[in-house]
Chains A and B, each alone.
Chain A
């Protein structure tokens, strides 16, 4: 056998680079977090697998017409996948608790404060404006919104931003409680909020997604794709007229797209793009965005508590950050740790649903500020 043939047969081995080896290790960490630690496994497992497959030497999967490249072109570059996922999220979101207590909208707005602070920090660290906005959007604490905005403004940062957004989202139960406990007194955490039993009519529930789409779409045109798909899913759910489509959006389509999205995002994490100091900066800024969102939400709820004469439990502010529905569950858990007879879940869910809408609006505002389309 001559050396040329041997070289062809062993070209896989000879093309292993230190960078690709590091990225394969990163992929293993993501797989470990998803499988062993159960951190957002639905996303971290496909992202880890996509990362591993893309970093294997000479990977045909990211070559021209390779499967991962095709998936990326099909749904990430043109923003199709995050929007499809939004239909499913809308079909799963119950805006009832928010409609019962509309003033919770304010908490959703407060929970987006981290976006703008992080944006400023990123600018100070020397990121360009579109990059800084993409990093800030991690503070929306909503995966598809982060992917959508960074995909438009800074596609080269998509990998680290998505990984940061989803990893931290899975850490909401760990990141939020210390912030909530630090900013509130046990007395405040024990404030009970009676469950209001207002019946929301079917007409209101059906009109809500339509009105929100028209109002938000008119005020923030850049948010139209996101809010439109979110509310389309919700309209299908609340109307009850298209149960099959609702089920397909919330399950089959969302599951399929989640797999494609994860693999395609993972495939963007190749050594030369990912192994940069900027990735580390993004990971740090991302957690700052999360923390600031939580702090702003709780502080704003404390203000509402003052204004309402002690009727608002400041903990529910933490649910305004989005991360639906995990943040609301964390609020319920922290409240119940203090007083097992206190049930804030419904109020927290209202603030949480408000945060979901506010995240989308904030994403649209960022895009408008950056003049992207």
Chain B
């Protein structure tokens, strides 16, 4: 699970994102829980976020496309629609820019360090799970910005192993 604490227009939102599947996420905002499907996950290096994209207010909420389908029937309070849409992006960030442990185990070996550039499929680590040495390969080409674990460290499902630089 990943937890994002975002300050939006002076309000703080704690958003918990749990990856269920490659394109399905369970997102918890405050006491609301949503099941979110990730339709696209793009890297848009040229685009910059401008102040015009300030979070919409409650009045706009009903007109927003239903990116997130609430699993509870209780109506979302005004203002929570915007954060509900945000986690989909946030989750995509977490999914796209980090290599997460596919199952619980122990990291036996690490073959990269911060600053290394890797190609897709290049070996990043060996994960010992159920006494089997598993090949962990890079999900994308890019530069490693951070190595989140040390050799010999136990990891849970979804814990980040390395992060990639976002450019």
Contacts and interface: CB of A to CB of B under 8 A. Distances in A.
A354 to B, nearest CB: 15
B129 interface: yes
B139 A343 contact: no
Given A194-B20, A194-B21, A346 B130 contact: yes
Find the residue from B22, B134, B158 having the highest chain A CB count within 10 A.
B134
A310 interface: no
Chain B interface helix/strand/loop/mixed: loop
Contact of B129 (A197, A340, A341, A345): A345
Interface stretch (A147-155, A242-250, A325-333): A325-333
A345 B132 contact: yes
Nearest to A97: B130
A341 B20 CA distance: 15
Interface in B102-149: 102-103, 121, 129-132, 134-135, 137, 139
Interface string A178-219: 000000000000001011010000000000000000000000
B157 interface: yes
A251 interface: no
Q: Interface residue tally of chain A, by bracket? A: 10 to 19
Find the residue from A329, A332, A343 having the highest chain B CB count within 10 A.
A343
Given A340-B137, A343-B103, A325 B131 contact: yes
Contact of B134 (A97, A195, A325, A345): A345
B132 A195 contact: no
Nearest to B21: A194
A343 B134 contact: yes
A174 to B, nearest CB: 17
Contacts of A94: 130
B118 to A, nearest CB: 13
Given A336-B135, A340-B137, A341-B139, A195 B103 contact: yes
A195 to B, nearest CB: 5
Nearest to A347: B103
A340 B135 contact: yes
Contacts of A329: 132
A346 B127 CA distance: 13
B95 to A, nearest CB: 12
A325 B131 CA distance: 9
Given A197-B157, A346-B103, A340 B121 contact: yes
A194 B157 CA distance: 11
Contact of B157 (A97, A195, A328, A341): A195
B78 to A, nearest CB: 33
Contacts of B139: 341
Contact of B137 (A192, A195, A341, A349): A341
12 contacts: A94-B130, A97-B130, A194-B20, A195-B102, A195-B103, A328-B132, A340-B121, A341-B102, A343-B134, A345-B129, A346-B103, A346-B129
Which 4 residue pairs of A and B lie closest in terms of their CB atoms, listed nearest first?
A: A343-B102, A340-B137, A194-B21, A329-B132
Interface of B: 20-22, 102-103, 121, 129-132, 134-135, 137, 139, 157-158
